[in-house]
Amino acid sequence: MGEKTLREAASERGLRFGAAVAADPLTDADYPDVLQREFDTVATENELKMGRLRPSRHEFDFEDAERIIGFAREHDMYTRGHTLVWHRMNPDWLTPWTYTDRQLENILREHVHTVAGRFRGQIDAWDVVNEAVADDGTMRESFWYRRLGQDFIDDAFRWANEVAPDAKLFYNDYGAEGLGEKSDAVYELVKGMLDRGVPIDGVGLQMHILLRGEEGRNPTPEEVAENIERLADLGLDVHITEFDVSTAHLEGDHEERLEKQAEYYRNFVQTALDTELDAFVTWGVADCNSWIYKRADGDDHPLLFDEHYQPKPAYDAVMETLTE
Ligand code: G3I
């Protein structure tokens, strides 16, 4: 590694560079050092999801989330809270509900008020609603949508704004990075919210690259730039929120795959610079922390650092892009 860290290089280019963080490895040997040295932005990977925070209907357990946010603040890092409303990782007591629609709305309002309010002034950006649009561009038939209709989205943003007026409020989704029916649907969704006066500040583009190994499904940097520009023209901030590049479907031996992966990192960090994006967040610190690595039993290597926390070719490519 050179003299300059990724954190310094990105900051000199006005780009926040982040990682999704879990509470448990914060006490490991290398994880906290690499995290605070190389990144200036922290996203909570799982610890602010409803299923993690709500062991029972009337109980909140903030301990793990507070460890992450506390670490970030101690190291002067920007914080992305992920996520207030999602159709996955909800508590067991919620999903087989026997609640009326009114009760369900009250549960959601109480959740958003309590969680966003608790971290008022400590979380800089919230993914208020995650993945509410289906792959074909229709509204996802989640239980929130089926029971509360599309209003749950506007409501969640308004409730978050009531208790955390200084936080930037984001709609976050996958598969809406480039151009196509899903990104058009996300564009129309957030445009409609702005027209209705809903307090939305930004859109998060997840960007899990090559996950299904179908090259055609992956957006080109040019398309992503065009999509970012049209969202920015609405007055919205855009963050790349969950970047990773699965190596499992790349051709070649391990070394060749890492070189190819590095090109994806290079191209999309360049896109981030070209479009003056505010934040670029990778979904984990080192490969061994990644959901993709775990899912593939260690046979897929999506991030900038390897399982020994050593920088990979992708790290060098990002550094070159930031410093050239
Ligand atoms: O912590 C428990 C552990 O105690 C237990 O032994 C183990 C057994 O399965 O499970 C562990 O929890 C898992 C958790 O990740 C931590 O590793 C959950 O089962 C697993 O469902 C959970 O997956 C997370 C997934 O969201 C679902 O919430 C991934 O870590 C997380 O990376 C992933 O993140 C999502 C974003 O929120 C939204 N966008 C897509 C992205 C990838 O799916």
Please write the tens of the pLDDT for every residue from 19-74. 999 999 999 999 999 999 999 999 999 999 999 999 999 999 999 999 999 999 99
Question: Which long-range contacts does 223-227 make (Cβ < 8 Å, 24+ apart)?
Answer: 223/177, 223/178, 223/179, 224/177, 224/178, 224/268, 224/271, 225/271, 225/274, 225/275, 226/179, 227/176, 227/177, 227/178, 227/179, 227/183, 227/187
What per-residue confidence (pLDDT) applies to 218? 85
Residues acting as catalytic residues: 131, 242
Ligand 1 atom with least separation from CA of 130 = 38
Q: Ligand 1 centroid vs 98 CA: distance in angstroms? A: 26
- Give the residue-averaged pLDDT of 250-270: 96
Q: What's the mean per-residue pLDDT of the chain?
A: 96
Please write the tens of the pLDDT for every residue from 140-150. 999 999 999 99
- Give the residue-averaged pLDDT of 106-133: 98
Task: Report helix angle 151-163 to 101-118, nearest 10.
Answer: 30
Ligand 1 atom with least separation from CA of 291 = 32
Q: Ligand 1 centroid vs 46 CA: distance in angstroms? A: 7
Output the pTM of the full model. Answer: 0.97
How many residues belong to the chain? Answer: 324
Ligand 1 atom with least separation from CA of 89 = 28
- Give the residue-averaged pLDDT of 101-106: 94
- CB-CB neighbours of 310 under 10 Å: 13
Helix (H) or strand (E) holding 228: helix 221-233
Q: 3-state class of 253 per DSSP? A: coil
What per-residue confidence (pLDDT) applies to 210? 80
What per-residue confidence (pLDDT) applies to 312? 98
**In the structure, what pLDDT confidence band is assigned to residue 214 with cuts at 50, 70 and 90?**
low
Q: Cα(307)–Cα(75) distance, rounded to whole angstroms?
A: 23
Q: Ligand 1 centroid vs 208 CA: distance in angstroms? A: 15
